[in-house]
Amino acid sequence: FKKYTNKTFLDDTTITHNNASIYVTHGDGILSWDTSYRLLKKVLRSSIFIKSYSLLPKSIAQKIAEKISYERKDSHQIDQNKIARIHDELESFTKEKINKGHNYVIMGHYHHSYHKKFDNGELILLGECNELNYNYAIFDGDKLEIKNF
């Protein structure tokens, strides 16, 4: 058996391995029109909200979390035009990161898989994490790929 460890990052992070720079982000708040989410994120991460939320009964806290998650998850209403707009902005974001020396940008948040190669780097969106459609990225020391489970 191999022992695996993992780290949890609250914010964007860069992982360097074998001279490859991998920029990892959840992906929330990147889009120009996502100002309400950037505000919501600040509220949800505030110490006042966290302390208040921790005092709620679990059943009420769960209902609030489900409501926030459902309201923010507009992927069930997404059309091809909106997907194209999302990809355009994420590709611009990725090009900025590539220009700063990153080889790969990996993110989730958008509830669909997408892989775009550029001259000096790549954008990888990981899709849903559920029993019907689960994928992940793996770096073999040379290249990064999306794998389906």
Non-local (6+) Cβ contacts of 22 within 8 A are 14, 15, 16, 102, 103, 104, 105, 106, 139, 144
Give the model's pLDDT for residue 106.
Answer: 95
pLDDT in the model for residue 74: 54
Q: Enumerate the β-bridge partners of residue 114.
A: 125
Going along the chain from its start, the domains and CATH numbers come out as 13-29+79-148 (3.60.21.10), 35-75 (no CATH)
Cα(114)–Cα(118) distance, integer angstroms: 13
pLDDT given for residue 85 in this prediction: 93
pLDDT in tens, 52-78: 999 999 999 999 888 877 655 554 567
**Residue 113 · residue 146 · CB < 8 Å:** yes
Torsion, Cα 75 79 80 81, to 10 degrees, reads -110
Please tell me the pTM assigned to this model: 0.80
| Kind and range of the H or E run holding 103 | none
